[in-house]
Structure 1
Amino acid sequence: MASFRIAGDQHLKGEISPQGAKNEALQILCAVLLTDKPVTIHNIPDIRDVNKLIELLGDLGVQVEQLSNSSYRFQADQVDVSVLDTANYREKASALRGSVMLLGPMLGRFKTGRIPRPGGDKIGRRRLDTHFLGFEKLGAKFNFDSEESGMFNVDASHLKGTYMLLDEASVTGTANVVMAAVLAEGTTTIYNAACEPYLQQLCSMLNRMGAKISGISSNLLTIEGVDKLGGTDHTMLPDMIEIGSFIGLAAMTQSEITIKNCQIPQLGIIPDVFKRLGIKMDFRGDDIFVPAQEHYQIESFLDGGMMTVSDAPWPGFTPDLLSIVLVTAIQAQGTLLVHQKMFESRLFFVDKLIEMGAQMILCDPHRATVIGLNRQQQLKGIRMSSPDIRAGVALLIAALSARGESIIDNIEQIDRGYQNIDGRLNAIGAKIERL
């Protein structure tokens, strides 16, 4: 297990570029299985979850050629479906939550699939019902082999388009069903579909490959099934979670940071939420400039009520940034209620922030109240452990702003979602040592 040793009370200055979007990468990489033609993907982040998925594709027989640090060419013309029955596949797929999105392309093109219960963050229950109910609507038949191997076995020999109302606007669930439906017979209509930019990217890429998807960017998708798909080139968006993390980092550490090439129109309300915390920022073309701020004040609602930030399906605020909002509010002036609706274990890291000196109340598994310190008191460095990707970076931000030295253990969780985060932050003035 690796750790970070962080020297606190650091003021950073300089330019930093966000990596390619992790959540988009997991969908886009699985989509290469839908065609036997070459697919070239650019701006792929060099992070653990993505690298594991690329390795899984290689195990399945996909030809993988790395063209540069962030560009790869894939060709799935020699896929070996029997690999799904191997212990090696079961072990690797069960350790990676993104592996569940291999199922949609496998069902669409090869009419069969096997997937173990996937792993990932320990942030509470993350059910797969939306994926499986959508596949069943298309005609797939499931069998869970709990006794022998813990595998979901799926027969999709007769996929047919249909109308479906998703039980939740799941991003991965929508992506998975879309990838199965593009090669199904007939027309599929998906209502209550997720419409995040990453899903828009996937649908646009599939259309360039020959799919017929309409309603992109809305919650009503119509998919006319086609017989086969071709190849394409695709460039991924910058990671909106990294961009939000860097905005919060700048505010907490009184740093002057320019975040480069942000694709600002694709960020939705993310900048507005941080502005409600009192954080100043200037859009310079496609870059976001965050000046060093000694103080920032949380807004109140128009009726004087306490500001609340909560997650919601797009175009609402992404749940992946609530941990960053929560830690950023520690040194603000004012009070903030953070309401994490989607996951019941994502706020449990606040006990470490309280130990560092933050004024917080964990109301229940879904809500925490932050009473801003307004720089009247500095956090103090401690030893802690990263429970998941987003909480790990929130703890890193707290440690960089704290007095003294901190150590964060289990940074493999951070590495799953943030590419060379220590190296990139050290380049603009941080002092982070990887142990």
Structure 2
Amino acid sequence: MKRSLGKMEYMQIAVLLAMLFAGFANGQGRQQRILSQAGVSYISNYLPRYVSGCDTYTCGTNAKCTISEGRPVCSCLNLHMGDPLVQCVRVECQINEDCLGSRACLNNKCIDPCPGFCGLNAECHTRDHVPTCTCLARYTGDPYTSCRIADPQAACKPSPCGLNTKCEVINEVPRCTCLPGYQGSPLSGCRHECESDAECSNHLACSSNFKCENPCQCGDGANCEVINHRPKCTCPNNWLGSPYVACRPECTYHSDCPQSKPACLNQKCANPCEGVCGINANCQLRDITPICSCPKDMTGDPFVSCRPFEPLDLCQPNPCGINAVCTPGHDNTGKERPVCTCPTGYIGNALISCQRGECLSDNECPDNRACIDFSCQNPCTGRQCGPSATCSPRRHIAVCTCPDGTRGDALVTCNPIDSRSSFNYARYYRYK
């Protein structure tokens, strides 16, 4: 399909024709230059021929076509290289900006530009595609050629500190401190901790090293007390020896002690019986344990006091049974011994136990019973009345009466009544 020329193209042709014919006399070379500048190809018959645009012109693979001064131009696409008329091949980069900031474009590849770039003992960091070199920590010099170990004490040379001080560089800043044994201002100068005892606390003394120190140099096991800068050495209580040489305890084991003081107490030999038992008490050792007791003819608390026996001591403590009463007495040989009895109102075995009786008085018994031996019993036991009398328990006592047909003293005897004597007896009482 043919394309018609536009108005602008007709104007360009007219101008070119005029220029061509006007300069024909100048020769073929000049015509060729004019046509070339106008974007028209030169033909052997000296007539201009117009080339079509990019729509009919095909560039190579991965190439693009653009019009420049009226003529098509083939070029590779971005990030591509090769022959634009044949084929362009994609590359990683063409300029640094095609890479990350930590990479640079070299031979169309994004690479780390640091390897081999910096000098000895230097480290490399890439920023905006440009490698930058810096010396390692504690190194100084030209990082692009060589770095050397820096002097960490350079800030202390010369020392800005005073006399008797130590200068140290910390974070590149000099720091001044007093030397051991010295004190004061490290910037102006330091002096000894002390020159005399008066400059130390009372419990310290100024040593040969001009330091306030403990002056104690006592023997082994000794106690030391510093008074006004002077040491005082003493052995502990109950210890033997010289406090300036060595102190030792009087004993460590019981076997270290004599028989008169057989026990090792608090590292001192002692008699455990001393001051332990009461007055008049005996003390005997069982191993090293004191045993206190009263003598055989004495009694009491052996830890307080012992005294001679008294009759009442036979009943202290009470050797009798429960609820029984103890009283001092004698046995068949006349030897003193405790006597056990049940108290009034109690019955039982006084050596074992006494229990309260059934009663203490007749009022605690029924009318026909009497309180006999703390028990409610029949008061008629067969011994209260005469042989032929009748005994009736009433009001807690025995009542004796003669049976009917008898008379007499019911407590002695009752005799049968004779009819005559009964008549005369009745008449006697009737006339009386």
The verdict on a shared fold, with TM-score over 0.5 as the criterion, is: no
Higher helix share: 1
**TM-score for both structures, normalised by structure 1:** 0.13
Q: Which structure would you say has the larger RCO, counting Cα contacts within 8 Å and 6 or more residues apart?
A: 1
Higher strand share: 2
